Structure 1
Amino acid sequence: MASKAQKYPDLWVDPEDDPRESATSTATDERSVLVEYLRHFRLTFEMKCEGLDAEQMARRSVEPSTMSLLGLLRHLAAVEQTWFRITMVNEDVPRLWGKDDERDADFDGAVADDVVVAEAWEAWRREVAYAVEFVERAESLEVVSTHATRGPITVRELLVHMIEEYARHCGHADLIRERIDGRTGQ
């Protein structure tokens, strides 16, 4: 299927085709604003990885860094799991990629393999869906985490932290993607 020509080839996508923009967005209360910002950055990250093969996803940024888009994807899946599933709900699950045993397993295991890429996308989508559902169910932004050793954090603080986490990594993704194929982000 041929893609249509962009009106603004210097942009990632034309504004009317940008999935991050919602003409129906009426986010006026605090929770809706925070959720919308986090949604925006999650979609931005996903767009930065769009259309890449396993080798491109696993390509390292610059030596000696182990950072890659695939590593970032795996890292963000682990971050989602750690904060929402483990910290907020206190689920007793092993951390993704073996991060219980090796801190940098998300980046170190990001190898150019179609199965590894597919598993990373599956884990990320599963953990994002869990997080979205958790926030929707939370009685208020004042709900506090239940994990015994990670220290208390409210849903409000967690949403702000996740926005910061994604914004920072979207910046990394911009630079990595530009190095892969010259595309720059909006």
Structure 2
Amino acid sequence: MSVRSRRGQLFGGEATESRITAHVNAGERDMLAGMLAAQRATLELKCSGLGAELAERSVEPSTLSLLGLVRHLADVERRWFRRVLAAQDAPALFSSPDDPDGDFDGAVSDPAVVERAWEAWRAEVAFAERFTESAPDLEVSGKDGWLGEVPLRWVLVHMIEEYARHNGHADLLRERIDGAIGV
């Protein structure tokens, strides 16, 4: 007789166990940054071990793919941390006003496209982590054309929500590709 496991336990391994680093009694900044780091690590875990398969689409007519999510989240990180909070002139890397879905539409299985997506995502995450760590407090804010003045605290909460939502997509996409399931 085989022993059944819960779906959430099947992805397993050291990468799964080391994702959550923020202590439950950490200060607010450390807790928010830690939860966001865990969501980022989850995205990497869901994409681990894949190459060209990252570009596999969910179902027609959707252009949703794991690679598209990596490209999309690189642009989202860039928008909130570089453009809004740091006030840099940093246009999106994968989408534009003329190609608003370029992050997903351009997610093709070319190894150079895959490599560029990961490089961009990692660079944007590193910038965001440095910005968060060096900010004097969570009230540091930037101007967003849609929402007005937004503090770092709000951006961190929003980014946790953004990753959590897309990591749900990543769960389903990964399971469709090779059957890998779990948290």
Query: TM-score, with normalisation over the residues of structure 1?
Result: 0.88
Q: Does 1:119 align with 2:116?
A: yes
- Does structure 2 conserve the Cα–Cα contact (< 8 Å) formed by 1:94 and 1:100? no
Unaligned segments of structure 2, at least 5 residues? 1-5
In structure 1, how many angstroms separate the alpha carbons of the residues matched to 2:15 and 2:97? Answer: 43
- In structure 2, what is the equivalent of residue 89 of structure 1? 86
**In the alignment, is the contact (CA less than 8 A) between 1:89 and 1:146 conserved in 2?**
no
**Structure with greater strand percent:** 2
Give the match for residue 39 of structure 1: 37
1:162 corresponds, among 159, 162, 170, to 159
- C-alpha separation between the residues in 1 aligned to 2:170 and 2:15? 23
The aligned counterpart of 1:20 is: 19
Give the count of matched residue pairs: 177
User: What's 2:134 paired with?
Assistant: 137
Report what 1:29 is aligned to: 27
- Structure 1 residue runs of 5 or longer lacking an equivalent are 1-7
Structure 1 residue 12 displacement after superposition = 1.1
State the partner residue of 1:11: 10
> Are 1:48 and 1:185, in contact at CA under 8 Å, matched by a contact in 2?
no
1:51 — aligned with what? 49
Query: What letter is aligned with 1:12?
Result: F
TM-score when normalising by structure 2: 0.89
Distance 1:15 1:96 in 2: 32
CA–CA distance in structure 1, aligned partners of residues 127 and 54 of structure 2: 24
**1:115 and 1:126 mapped to 2: Cα distance?**
16
Structural RMSD (CA): 2.2
Q: Partner residue of 1:4?
A: none
Relative to structure 1, the CA distance from residue 90 to residue 71 in structure 2 (aligned partners, 3 Å threshold; closer, same or farther) is same
